[in-house]
Amino acid sequence: MPTRLMPALAPLTLALSTLAAQAAPSPVAQYDFNGTLASSVAGAPALSVTDPLGQSGFVTDSVMGTTKSVWNFQGAASPVTDQAGLTLDSTGLLTRNDTYSLEMVFKFTDRENAWRRIVDVSSRQTDDGFYVDPSNNLDVYPIGGGAPFTNDVYHDVFLVDNAGIVTFYLDGSAQATLTTTVMNIDASNHINFFLDNVVGGGQGEYSSGSISMVRLYDEALTAVPPPPVPEPAAGALMLAGLGAVGYLARRRRAA
């Protein structure tokens, strides 16, 4: 019987692979932290490191059930010059700085019940940005939030800016849609991860942690891409294809 089933499965597997290739969006930059800060997408720059205490680096951790290399960022909330994080220079990657999608798999490891910066797009010059708030919810400050976030657990966080309409997801579930320009990337084209503002009020809103994956898309996706599976085993590839068959996200770009 196995010899009769295999020919039938081969075309199905090929069809699933084709559908997955057609349906899944392609990031303009992707970072998997497998011992390097370089992008797996040709032409995208490597991430830049802020590590004033010299304590950050690659470590091995369990991410969503898989043991893999991650970047462990270790700093201090205060003074702000002791915070650790990463920066992506999006120059040449995005058509518009107010239309993009950003996915991250990461965890925070301290300062629960306090503000913790996730993403800054204003050159660290303002308190506005994407955070975990003191109620331990995802929050685009000062607009609004939702989505309970727990420390010491890797979460898949997905943020979409569609020309001033910001939607964010936690572990594949939509949490809030807000009308705001807070997440429009400024003229520096820099996306800062985990680094809080260095001027104005609300400084020191920082947590150390680890990051396993970053993806940047030059489009405002209407649905979350298939969840990342770190270093999938061969047997999981067909399941990934099945999941991608139902993925219907398409480009949604403002005129």
In a domain, 132, yes or no: yes
Residue position matching structure tokens 């995802």 = 138
Let me know: does 203 contact 78? Beta carbons within 8 Å. Answer: yes
Average pLDDT over residues 100-117: 98
pLDDT band at 60 (very low <50, low <70, confident <90, very high): very high
In a domain, 7, yes or no: no
Domain count, the chain: 1
Rounded to whole angstroms, the Cα distance separating 132 from 65 reads: 24
Let me know: does 142 contact 131? Beta carbons within 8 Å. Answer: no
- Give CA torsion, residues 129, 139, 77, 155, to 10 deg: -110
User: Torsion-angle region of residue 241: left (phi > 0), alpha (psi -120 to 50) or beta?
Assistant: alpha
In a domain, 183, yes or no: yes
Average pLDDT over residues 116-137: 97
pLDDT band at 230 (very low <50, low <70, confident <90, very high): low
Let me know: does 204 contact 196? Beta carbons within 8 Å. Answer: yes
pLDDT in tens, 174-212: 899 999 999 999 999 999 999 999 999 999 999 999 999
In a domain, 185, yes or no: yes
We report the CATH number of the domain holding residue 56 as 2.60.120.200
In a domain, 56, yes or no: yes
Beta pairing partners, 174: 169
Q: What is the pLDDT of residue 229?
A: 63
Tokens of 166: 């910001």
In a domain, 162, yes or no: yes
Q: What is the pLDDT of residue 149?
A: 95
Tokens of 125: 């010059």
Q: Residue 223 class from Cβ within 10 Å (0-12 exposed, 13-18 middle, 19+ buried)?
A: middle
In a domain, 18, yes or no: no
CB within 8 Å of 240: residues ≥ 6 apart: 20, 226, 229, 232
**pLDDT over 50 (residue 43):** yes
For residue 118, what are the domain limits? Answer: 25-225
Q: What is the pLDDT of residue 226?
A: 75
**pLDDT over 90 (residue 15):** no
Tell which residue, 53, 124, 119, 113, has the closest CA to residue 83.
53
Let me know: does 223 contact 249? Beta carbons within 8 Å. Answer: yes
52 or 247, which is more confident: 52
Tokens of 182: 């807070």
CB within 8 Å of 9: residues ≥ 6 apart: none
| DSSP-based three-state secondary structure for 252 | coil
pLDDT in tens, 127-175: 999 999 999 999 999 999 887 999 999 999 999 999 999 999 999 998 9
Output the pTM of the full model: 0.82
Rounded to whole angstroms, the Cα distance separating 250 from 255 reads: 15
Q: What is the pLDDT of residue 21?
A: 42
